[in-house]
Chains A and B, each alone.
Chain A
């Protein structure tokens, strides 16, 4: 059992046992934090290893910012003689870390030779990495900085540049070096599938969600570093790598489930349709071959109850939980990650006149329960949940929205009312919003 298996580049850390596995070689990943089982190809054989945690740390795919010209990343050899023209932000704004690399190279080039001229073209300089000093030094060393607007800079072979700004026009000769355009490694798609993660829109392993900062993924124990995340985060690599290793060491010391409740699958009802497996945003369900049924991996579970609400065979339940009494009336269902927190800052009587319930996430809504709450034509249901991309359970609020839309559409088609179920979004700090929403709901204005 290893502490960390690195998929991609390995970080050396003497107090943790680590292994490096080529992402190309990965075949499968089962299990959960504290007990992942990885199978991968190694010298023509298939090997299986267990690990506490997984870190995906890949390189980016990069292409030249300007076709035909070299980029100024680490491996590029800077020519010893002749003028140099650094160009960043061509086509795409270069992330802060790339800014830094460019400035460092420009500074080194200027210091290295007093006979050459070094030019630096940019659209926006980033100083979030403490690059102010490098910039100052570079200027003092004689690097000439030029800000340009998009479209006002033209580069022709073989290193001839035309620059226009505010009526001034310039022509320069020199070796052109550009900032690379970074894009996701081609391995990420396969890795996402094997690790059961939802890639971001751009194709990076880490979804863009506030709960995942800095290096977390939806699956506990699986971390994303470097090129597995979007390039904006490159500058924080060192700090975030340290944070990740420290958290893994903490988990090694003491691994507890994230939620107190235990969820169990009735193996007589489960028909292995795999709906829960697919719906779970945290990869917390797996087939238990002995029982011939799905099983909830308690340490991996984040407690959203999406599995419970989506299981078509009603096979999953919370241990010890009693069937709730469905009381019709004016309901308010509050997501524990947003609405409940906001409500705690308001006086208790704010809920007077409502039947209020706490829910784990909008994805735990069940159609059958919503219909049961609507017995009387005066009954309505208000769901207060999180904004898109700030849902703790990733696509949870989207699933909830779909359920609400489906219910409203059906009710409307049967002339049972319009918009009797409302899903309003809220954030924990906005108790003022909550107060207003509840007031309008009470008065039927929503």
Chain B
């Protein structure tokens, strides 16, 4: 899922500025709820914190909240259209996708991001997520025993380790497992080490952002 982390309260407050009396905080009920960053609970906590803050400052404001199922589909955004119109400022706790989709529906409104969207990741423990995929657009997991050299190796090397790892940890950060050690061990366990003898050509990054922002269509559904 998309993993993000709520911005620090000071940053949010600075971003909100002073030119408003009513704020709507919109949460998202999918990825950021699961990654415990922007769901209904987080929205409620942030709202109460801001009330406390502005109360102390003596600033009279109203803060409303709502959490919709997803902010990356217009139908859900449309459900709260009136609410959005009715507030001076909107703070979205969705990932960057959701914020922008809301902007598209409400071009005249200021919609601010309350989250730092980070990566595509999996839950590794309660409250912990780790990056697994960078969305390169051309999956090569089959050739690497199910461990991605692009996402799991800090340097995205495709033909073997850099040699800088120590005790299985990356030289960039000893909190990171060396991706290539994972690849090697995995293929070794499977008895498929010879796959690594096949030279991997330089990656065509056009399928990644290097070709510009991407768009995908599914011919079965797409009308155009």
Contacts and interface: CB of A to CB of B under 8 A. Distances in A.
A–B contact via C-beta, under 8 angstroms: yes
Interface of A: 271, 273-275, 278-279, 311-314, 366-369, 371-372, 374-375, 377, 410, 413-414, 416
B10 interface: yes
A271 B33 contact: yes
A278 B128 CA distance: 12
Interface in B117-136: 123, 126
A371 B52 contact: yes
Interface in B1-22: 8-10, 13
B71 to A, nearest CB: 14
Contacts of A414: 9-10, 13, 49, 53
Interface stretch (B40-48, B156-164, B183-191): B40-48
A312 B44 CA distance: 10
A63 B8 CA distance: 52
Contacts of A273: 33-34
A148 B174 CA distance: 45
21 contacts: A271-B29, A271-B33, A273-B34, A275-B34, A275-B36, A312-B34, A312-B36, A313-B29, A313-B40, A314-B40, A314-B41, A366-B45, A368-B41, A369-B48, A371-B51, A374-B52, A375-B52, A377-B56, A414-B9, A414-B10, A416-B56
B10 A368 contact: no
B96 interface: no
B55 interface: yes
| 8 tightest Cβ-Cβ pairs between the two chains A and B | A371-B48, A312-B39, A368-B45, A273-B34, A368-B44, A367-B45, A278-B126, A312-B33
Chain B contact residues: over half helix, strand or loop, or mixed?
helix
A413 B9 contact: yes
Interface residues of B, number: 25
Given A413-B8, A414-B10, A313 B33 contact: yes
Contacts of B29: 271, 313
Q: Which of A274, A374, A377, A414 has the most CB of B within 10 A?
A: A414
Contacts of A366: 41, 45
B92 interface: no
Contact of A416 (B41, B47, B53): B53
A271 B69 CA distance: 10
Contacts of B40: 312-314
A312 B42 contact: yes
Nearest to B8: A413
A366 B49 CA distance: 12
Nearest to A410: B9
Contact of B126 (A279, A314, A377, A413): A279
A131 B153 CA distance: 60
Given A271-B34, A273-B33, A371-B45, A313 B39 contact: yes
A273 B56 CA distance: 36
B53 to A, nearest CB: 6
Interface string B28-39: 011001101001
